[in-house]
Amino acid sequence: MGAITYIQAISDGLREEMRRDDSVFLLGEDIGIYGGAFKVTKGFIEEFGPERVIDTPLAESAIIGVSIGAALMGLRPVAEMQFADFISCAFNQVVNNAAKIHYRWGASVPMTIRCPSGGGVHGGPYHSQNNEAWFFHTPGLKVVAPSTPYDAKGLIKSAVRDPNPVLYFEHKFLYRRIKEELPEEEIIVPIGEGDIKREGRDITIVTYGSMVHVSLEAAETLANEGIECEIVDLRSILPFDKAMILDSVRKTNRVLIVHEDVLTGGIGGEISAVISEEAFEQLDAPIMRIASIDTPVPYSPPLEEFFLPNKEKVINALRKLAAY
């Protein structure tokens, strides 16, 4: 097959699910004739027709509301937020309707919400946010964030098949920068299972999304200094793989949590609390976090670079942990 990009993996996963199950359909802004803002759905309307690839008005509340109704009637909608930032316009439907219907009367709501997220693309404050923490706090939702083409394809398929709402955070910076050879057989990545992207004995890095690659680069630098870092890629943010995190921390006794979302109120705080509660006696150093600065995402390229976590920031934190 050859190496495919992260964005192609998402597209291929969606296409396979639409071919497999006639109840799967797509809706969103410019996803049909135009093929999507990022071309994830290019060619879909020609194959599946306008009844299954639906161009919507610029109205996220309508997109999510229609998806909830369709899901309740037995269909499997995949709704695209053209940028994850715009999901705020549909916040009520996501957190008060979709998330609670199964709890209230037992009905399944099998819908997927695709959220192109993240910075590094100079999109400014309204097109660059990592807003997964808004939904991490909401029981009834699942939240995933793949970092590789393999995980991107496997998680989009799991999201589509899940009986209840899944928010699928796909990182725009990774779309065409990350490539990988994928097997011919079907890929399914279970929601709730993390992945060890790098084995190590000295420090655990807990991360997800774009920061997996930043962490891998930092770990290679530290390896040249004799410090071996283990990288736990959450893949699934809600639920997250608590057992994998704790097993790694108990092995290395030091932990750094890295995410691109801003620091305050980010999911790193919850992971830190879990480690403190359940593995405190195994820690040989304080838990550290690296995240974006608590401001809106800057548009200016040098300001955005200053705002985001990067390899140097991660390396500095790892050296402090190693020396503690």
Closest to 7 in 3D by CA, of 146, 142, 118: 146
Question: What's the token pair of residue 319?
Answer: 């050296």
Write the CA distances from 32 to 37, 70, 157, integer angstroms. Answer: 10, 19, 20
Question: What's the token pair of residue 30?
Answer: 């410019």
Secondary structure percentages of the chain, helix, strand, coil, to 5: 40, 20, 40
Residue 127 known to be catalytic:
yes
Identity at 207, one-letter amino acid code: T
Closest to 79 in 3D by CA, of 209, 192, 173, 166: 166
Contact 227, 256 (CB under 8 A): no
| From 102, 122, 127, 259, the catalytic residue | 127
Alpha-carbon span 53 to 200, nearest angstrom: 45
Alpha-carbon span 40 to 20, nearest angstrom: 18
Q: Which helix (H) or strand (E) holds 26?
A: strand 24-28
pLDDT at residue 1, as a whole number: 58
Identity at 95, one-letter amino acid code: V
List the domains of the chain with CATH numbers: 3-181 (3.40.50.970), 195-323 (3.40.50.920)
Alpha-carbon span 148 to 3, nearest angstrom: 12
The sign of the torsion formed by the CA atoms of 192, 198, 202, 203 equals negative
The per-residue pLDDT string of the chain (324 residues; one tens digit each, 9 = 90 and over) reads: 579 999 999 999 999 999 999 999 999 999 999 999 999 999 999 999 999 999 999 999 999 999 999 999 999 999 999 999 999 999 999 999 999 999 999 999 999 999 999 999 999 999 999 999 999 999 999 999 999 999 999 999 999 999 999 999 999 999 999 999 999 999 999 999 999 999 999 999 999 999 999 999 999 999 999 999 999 999 999 999 999 999 999 999 999 999 999 999 999 999 999 999 999 999 999 999 999 999 999 999 999 999 999 999 999 999 999 999
Determine the 3-state secondary structure of 13 from DSSP.
Answer: helix
